[in-house]
Amino acid sequence: MTKGMISAPQPEAVEAGLDVLQCGGNAVDAAIACALVQTAVDPQMCGIAGFGNMQLYLPKIGVHTTFDFHGRSPIATKPDMWEHLIEREALDGWGFILKGRVNEIGYGAISTPRTLAAFEEASRRFGTMSMADLIEPAIAYCEDGFMVRPHMAEFWNRPPTAGRDANISMLTKHPETRKIYCRPDGRVLSVGEILKNPDMGRTYRRIAEHGVGDFYAGEIADRIVKDMKANGGMISHDDLANCAAEENAPIWGSYRGYRYATNHPPGGGVMLIEMLNILENFDLTAVGHNSAEYIRVVSEAMKIATIDKDNKVGDPKFYRVPMEELTSKEYAAKHAEAIRRGEKANVTRLNTGGQESKNTTQVTVVDEDGSCVTMTHTLGQPSGVVTDGLGFMYNGAMTVFDPRPGRSGSLAPGKARFTAISPTIVFKDDKPYLVLGAPGATYITMGNLQVMLNVMVFGMNAQEAVLAPRFAATSNNIELSNRILRACERDLRSLGYPVLRHPVSHTFAWVHAIRIVDGKLDGGADAATDGMAMSV
């Protein structure tokens, strides 16, 4: 085996992780260095004021665990504070559109920033290098700058959908953000221009010198809380003091001889288990990859899991999630029979609008000892808020809470909202076989599912599995990427399905994966994100 492999959406981040492996660091060191560079070079997809989930399989020391660091609503949150502002729910289930967009861009959108706490916990317990060393590559990109990549510019300039503010607003609405991302004439930086963020560099240097504790209980924390108080934000010193990674054993599923480990709610792993349990009842090889019947069957499984997610999955600290039912093979078999009969599941949404932005990133690492790390981290819908002099953008995780009290995803103080984040490791003969994860909001589980099927059912390598055309059904629509055959679309329409074809060829999550076969690694990076998979 080589020293290891990394797959991630940003070449700069992959290279930083490879340098760590080359210098003798382990998979945990490489994943954190990679992730910290991501916060510098893709600062709307992720950040130290974000959230996520990390799975670690470390066979040399007998550790297999997950760190959950979903953002939690501030202590000042009121369950009914936004109920009177509801306009509609997003068609794909990714949040609500509220009057004044108070949950979307601005200080009201910010949940607790737990990413940095998770990085520090994983590094302290399982890494071999200091956080001060691991943050150095990110500091260099802050101070020296990096070229704006096509995927960044496309995201910034994406047209508004479903009544949300245009993404450009998160760069232009607040003066402290404008000074980082815009020229003096107000124009947002373009592809190939150099983006420097010296304020973030100074913040990172302070963290390297004084430790992560400064972010949560020191000078940086004081500046964060002062800014929140001055601008109507809800984050307090008590909120910051409660920011810690939550460790859980992974949850397990099985599919035709494979076993796979994924994450607990409020993450999306339970959806993967339910969908794969349903699909285990079909001979997908005989049906044919991406045939109309394949798309119908898999889409119905997606819709069923989406309905259950909408109605039954939330933060287990606040809501009893019926895990035994949702992961039951018998429960799945009943749904499979309904699919065989041609029944169509009905995904209901409130006053639905169009599709939403997806703002997340992924790190997938395997090292020479067979240690595996898969981590999905994000800002959610970025808030657009940057505290004067600190440089980093805060998450906008409050966007996806349900403003209606009494539901699985309703607002409550200290509560995490559901995300489809689902970093997963597939095992074959009790050894890691496929390590994967993805950004992509509600499409994350749908992308992970299809890549897993591409490998487990159709024998594809990691890159083939990631690049194969994808589809999704997070509503009653079946959405197709532009490489799905039009003949399939005609057949689906003839069956009465509403079909939405997208103009892009690579979409529905941005999966990054590593496959391990007889000790040899092959990696897959999603072409939609300028990503890269490489070994050393």
Q: What is the DSSP letter of 24?
A: T
**Percent of the chain residues topping a pLDDT of 90:** 85
Q: What is the pLDDT of residues 428-454, one digit of tens each?
A: 999 999 999 999 988 999 999 999 999
- Answer with the residue of higher pLDDT: 480 or 157: 480
pLDDT at 75 over 70: yes
Mean pLDDT of the chain: 94
- The Cα–Cα gap between 491 and 522 comes to 35
- The Cα–Cα gap between 226 and 350 comes to 37
Q: What is the pLDDT of residues 195-207, one digit of tens each?
A: 999 999 999 999 9
Which two tokens mark 445? 């589980």
CA dihedral 306, 312, 314, 320 (to 10 degrees): -160
The pLDDT value recorded for residue 100 is: 79
Q: What is the DSSP string of 5-20?
A: EEEES-HHHHHHHHHH
pLDDT at 389 over 90: yes
Q: What is the DSSP letter of 400?
A: G
Which two tokens mark 146? 């990096």
The pLDDT value recorded for residue 160 is: 66
Q: What is the pLDDT of residues 225-280, one digit of tens each?
A: 999 999 999 999 999 999 999 999 999 999 999 999 999 999 999 999 999 999 99
Q: What is the pLDDT of residues 282-331, one digit of tens each?
A: 999 999 999 999 999 999 999 999 999 999 999 999 999 999 999 999 99
Confidence of residue 173 (pLDDT cuts 50, 70, 90): confident
Nearest to 70 by CA among 197, 242, 233, 204: 242
Burial class, 507, CB count within 10 angstroms (exposed 0-12 / middle 13-18 / buried 19+) = buried
| pLDDT average, residue stretch 105-126 | 96
Residue where the block lists tokens 């607790």: 112
- The Cα–Cα gap between 205 and 67 comes to 25
Q: Name beta bridge partners: 89.
A: 96
The pLDDT value recorded for residue 356 is: 46
Backbone angles phi, psi at 386, to 5 degrees: -130, 125
What 3-state DSSP class applies to 368?
coil
Which two tokens mark 461? 């390598």
Please answer whether residues 504 and 497 qualify as being in contact, where contact means their C-beta atoms are separated by less than 8 angstroms: no
pLDDT at 102 over 90: no
Superfamily of domain 248-354+420-535: Gamma-glutamyltranspeptidase, small (S) subunit (3.60.20.40)
Q: What is the DSSP letter of 185?
A: T
Confidence of residue 94 (pLDDT cuts 50, 70, 90): low
| Amino acid (1-letter code) at residue 33 | A
Q: What is the pLDDT of residues 335-354, one digit of tens each?
A: 999 999 999 999 986 654 44
The pLDDT value recorded for residue 164 is: 62
What 3-state DSSP class applies to 301?
helix
pLDDT at 131 over 50: yes
Confidence of residue 91 (pLDDT cuts 50, 70, 90): low
- The Cα–Cα gap between 476 and 253 comes to 26
Burial class, 365, CB count within 10 angstroms (exposed 0-12 / middle 13-18 / buried 19+) = buried
- The Cα–Cα gap between 226 and 220 comes to 10
The pLDDT value recorded for residue 354 is: 46
The pLDDT value recorded for residue 353 is: 47
| pLDDT average, residue stretch 413-431 | 96
CATH 3.60.20.40 range(s) for the chain read 248-354+420-535
Burial class, 459, CB count within 10 angstroms (exposed 0-12 / middle 13-18 / buried 19+) = exposed
pLDDT at 209 over 50: yes
Q: How many other CB atoms are there within 10 angstroms of residue 13's CB atom?
A: 29
Residue where the block lists tokens 């391990």: 516
| Amino acid (1-letter code) at residue 168 | I
Please answer whether residues 389 and 373 qualify as being in contact, where contact means their C-beta atoms are separated by less than 8 angstroms: no
| Amino acid (1-letter code) at residue 84 | H
CA dihedral 42, 436, 278, 442 (to 10 degrees): 0
Query: 274 CB contacts (<8 Å, ≥6 apart)?
Result: 301, 304, 305, 308, 326, 327, 331, 332
Q: What is the pLDDT of residues 11-37, one digit of tens each?
A: 999 999 999 999 999 999 999 999 999
Q: Is the pTM of this model over 0.75?
A: yes
Q: Name beta bridge partners: 260.
A: 253, 426
The pLDDT value recorded for residue 358 is: 55
Q: How many other CB atoms are there within 10 angstroms of residue 518's CB atom?
A: 6
Residue where the block lists tokens 């934000």: 233
- The Cα–Cα gap between 15 and 454 comes to 27
Query: 255 CB contacts (<8 Å, ≥6 apart)?
Result: 276, 277, 279, 280, 452, 456
Backbone angles phi, psi at 427, to 5 degrees: -115, 140
